[in-house]
Every structure is written in C-alpha cells, then in structure tokens.
Structure 1
Amino acid sequence: MLSKSSYILLYSILLFSACEEKVDLNLNADSGRVVIDAQLSDASNIQRIRVSQSVAIDAEMGSTAVKNAIVTVKDNLNQNYLFQHEKDGYYINRNFKPAVGRKYTLRVGVNKQQFESSSTMPAYINIETTHIIEKEIAGKTYFFIALAFKDPAKIANYYMYTLSINGKEFRFASTESDQFNDGLQVTHYISELERSLSHGDKLTVRRYCVDVGTFHYWNGYQSTNLSTAAPGNPKSNISNNALGYFSVAPVKEYQLLIP
C-alpha cells in the first residue's frame, strides 16, 4: 500500500460539464430499437440526453442519431424542462439543475412511439478519505482508487462509478450498494482492469449516488458485459422496449495521481 503522504494530487470538483460522459454500452439488438442515454446530474445547469436507434450487430456503428424526437423532463412540482436537439442525437437543456429529493419523469417521443421513465435524486454521501493502493490479482499488480466513507444507517444507498485515465473519455467502472454494510465504515475500490495503469498516470473518478432503478441497470450491465463471453443487454428502466437508462443523480469528481 502506498503511504498517504505520497498522494501528490487530490481534488474534489463539482463543475465539469464541459467533459462529456462517454460510456461504451456494447448493446446487442435488432436494428430499429430506440436507445436513450439520459444521465442527469447536479454538476451544472446543462443537461444532455442522447436519443438514437440501434443498428444490426454487425454494422460498423452501434447506433444512429435520432434528430426529430420530442424530449421533456417533468418534476413532481409540475415544472417542465424541454430539451432541444443540437447535434448527433443530443438533446440539451441549458437551464436545469436537478434537486435532491425530487422525482423526475422523462418522456421521449419518436415517430409516434412514446417512452417514459422516472428517477428520484438521492442525497450525496460525502467521501472522507481517498488514496491509491496496489492489489495483486491472478499474479498481476493493479492500482486502485480507494474511497472511504461512513454509510448512513437504515437507508438503502446505491453508487455508480466512471473512470478516466490521463484525461481520456470516461468509461463505466463499477456499481456498489450497502446491502451488506449498511451503517458501517465502507471503502470502495475503483480501477480499470482492462487497461494497464502505471506510475505517473492521473486517474479521475466520478462518483454518482444513484437510485435503485439506475443501480439495477448498471449492475446488470456489469454482470453481463464484464464477466461473460457473450455480453447481453442490461434491463432498461425505460418503458416500451427501449434500450438505455434514465438517471438523476448527484455526482462529485476526484482526481489522484499514481506517484
């Protein structure tokens, strides 16, 4: 384990909307199914939702942009947020920052088809300490970001992590829940086992505190895509046989340098 004094760089950043989240979903589907990628957060007032359609599994591109959808989000206080298409299937609202405790309902209309999903934004659970550790797995050494915190008792909590290495795109890393450690001191270990990490690499992890529906989606993705030879599609939390997911979650970003 590396000593805490050797952690050269540690930041907690809230405003990072300029960095677009990119997660490779590896979805398998017949062509024509609507794919909705809707990760809303409190990082800024700019929210993005991508709407596309899946193509044949042997096609060069995994989806094609949908440019004529009607995309809205409504909260439980009857406030409506309209998303306008800008480019490549991305629908954007530039004056919408979700609030803790509110329930949000997504509605997407595509060629007379209607898709709907709801998500309630949980409170963020603060990290107490972060550091880098080394672990040996199957004879190989890997670096992990360790995030320690106190889990709130008698509340079901769920987490999703994405990871960027040296400023490159963010990729899904893992999901966690407090099913077996409710109310305890907890440490989550985040890494990228498919890409080699080495001394001098800068790791940036985004930590989302998500609701149960979002957790089940990403946990299903984790189970079917990271541990099997034939990846499958996670069960979407969006209606009408859509692919993808809808989530409204608080997020914070942490950067560490492997010394």
Structure 2
Amino acid sequence: MHVRQSFTLSCLLLLISSCEEKMDLDLNKAAARIVIDAQLSDASSVQRIRISHSVGFDDPINTSGIKGATVSVKDNENRHYSFQYEKDGYYIHRNFKPVAGRIYTLNVAVQKQQYSSSCQMPAYVAVDSTGISEKSLNGKTYFFATLTFKDPAKVANYYSYTLSINGGPFRFANAQSDQFNDGLKVTHYISDLGTNLVPGDGVIIRRYCVDEKTYQYWNEYQNNNLSNAAPSNPKSNISNNALGYFSVASVKEYQLKIGQ
C-alpha cells in the first residue's frame, strides 16, 4: 500500500525551533489573565487541571497558581466530576477515566468569573508499527521516531505528540491532521524540538488523538514558533478570554531506542 509520509517542510523547520509542553505567554506588560491548562485523557483515572493567572514575563515561572476556584467536568450522560484543590493551582479528580465518544464540558468559577468549554473525546487510531528513521538534512544526520498507521477514511482525525528523552520531561513535539492523507497509510515522524536525538537515546512518545479545536491550538502554537515574529498566544477554546485550552484525548505511549 502506498505510504503517505507526513514528513513535510514544516516538520523539518520544527527541528530548529524549541518549545515545551506549556503555554508560551506574551506577558511583558499585559494585564493578568486566567490560564486554564486542562488536558484530560484515558491514560489514567487521575485527572489534573491547573488554574492560574499570568505573571510578568521576567518572573521565574510563566503562571501563578490560583486557590479557591470551583472546577468541574460534566459529560453528556449527566455524569458530574468535581475537582478538588491540592497545591500550586492544581485541581485533581482521582477516579475519572474519560470514554471515547462522550462530550465533556468544563466549568470553572474563579474570582466571580465563569469559564467553560466543551470537547468530544475522539477514539484512538491504532498504530500498526513503530521504528526509527535516519535523515540527512543539510549535511547533518537527524533521527526520528516513526509511527505508521492506517488513517480512518472519511473521518477527520487530529493528532498531537509529546516526547520524553532518557526519562526527561515530556515536551510538545508536533501536531498533525489528516487533511491531505485521509484514508491512507501514514507515517508520522517525531523528534524533540530542542535536542537532537542521538544513538543510545531512549525515547517515549505520547500520541494523543485530539479534537479539532485542540489540534488548532497546538498547530497555531507550532506555527507561531516557526515565524520570525514574537510568539503570540494560541487561540483558546475556553470562553471569557481565558488563556490555555481544554482537551479530552485518547492516548497511548510508545518506547523506542536509537540504535548505536
């Protein structure tokens, strides 16, 4: 079967851009805004949502956690999940594993303001094979983790990847859609954006099947980091001018090692 490789120019350019799995806030002198980082998935029954407000650009952290918010998620089958505050702006629910196909609505009340968002959790698109690919670009050798799969036909599918190298923190790597390869056999090429993979590295890839709005958020994020202009905030899918995003995704991890 023909393999449509999603190894595009933008993927190559991403190699020279550096970003982490966090909001990149343009906050030098801007008024403080609420930041909601709500990435839920079926990887665990423990879900975490962080509520914070933006702080000065030169401060040691990008956001400052907020205590005293009311945070809940409700699905379209009238199941209600109340999140409890723990520390540093994190609100936790320890017995909540989302189910593909259900629609989840986030509601946050903080400082007399209401914020909300909805997301339908996509089903996971299975991976047929994984591997390591070696590419030569401008005289330099780069390694990529590869995931090959059959994209479901006539269904819009969106993917987001994070990557951990040698046990380090997970960092945003890439966002992809099936706009140009619907129904085809596809290979996604994944590499860290700030550190080149080298022989001997062990990598863990987290592959999220996300909804369209989450994809748009991360695609805008990666496109902003490719431009020469100062990065701006991606468009949030949360109401009331909040920063951040709400996502409910199906996810799996893949472990690979770069051969020596």
TM-score, length-scaled by structure 1? 0.89
Structure 2 match to 1:87: 87
After the TM superposition, which residues 8-47 of structure 1 pair with which residues of structure 2 at under 5 Å, given as runs?
23-29=21-27, 30-47=30-47
Deviation (angstroms), 1:193: 3.7
Q: 1 CA distance for matches of 2:112 and 2:252? A: 37
Partner secondary structure for residue 91 of structure 1: strand
Structure 2 match to 1:129: 129
Q: Deviations over 1:199-227 (max 9, x none)?
A: 11001110000000101011111111244
Partner secondary structure for residue 238 of structure 1: coil
Tell me whether 1:237 sits opposite 2:237 in the alignment: yes
Structure 2 match to 1:10: none
Structure 2 match to 1:19: none
Unaligned 5+ runs, structure 1: 1-21
Q: Deviations over 1:42-81 (max 9, x none)?
A: 0111000011100122323211000111100000011110
Deviation (angstroms), 1:136: 1.9
Q: How many aligned residue pairs are there?
A: 238
After the TM superposition, which residues 52-67 of structure 1 pair with which residues of structure 2 at under 5 Å, given as runs?
52-67=52-67
TM-score, length-scaled by structure 2? 0.89
Q: Deviations over 1:116-175 (max 9, x none)?
A: 000000100000000001112233211101100000000000000000000110000000
RMSD of aligned C-alpha atoms?
1.2
After the TM superposition, which residues 1-259 of structure 1 pair with which residues of structure 2 at under 5 Å, given as runs?
23-29=21-27, 30-259=30-259
The residue type equivalent to 1:181 in the other structure is N
Partner secondary structure for residue 126 of structure 2: coil
Q: 2 CA distance for matches of 1:67 and 1:31? A: 19
Unaligned 5+ runs, structure 2: 1-19
Deviation (angstroms), 1:25: 2.3
Partner secondary structure for residue 136 of structure 1: strand
The residue type equivalent to 2:251 in the other structure is V
Q: Which runs of 4+ in 1 moved over 4 A?
A: none
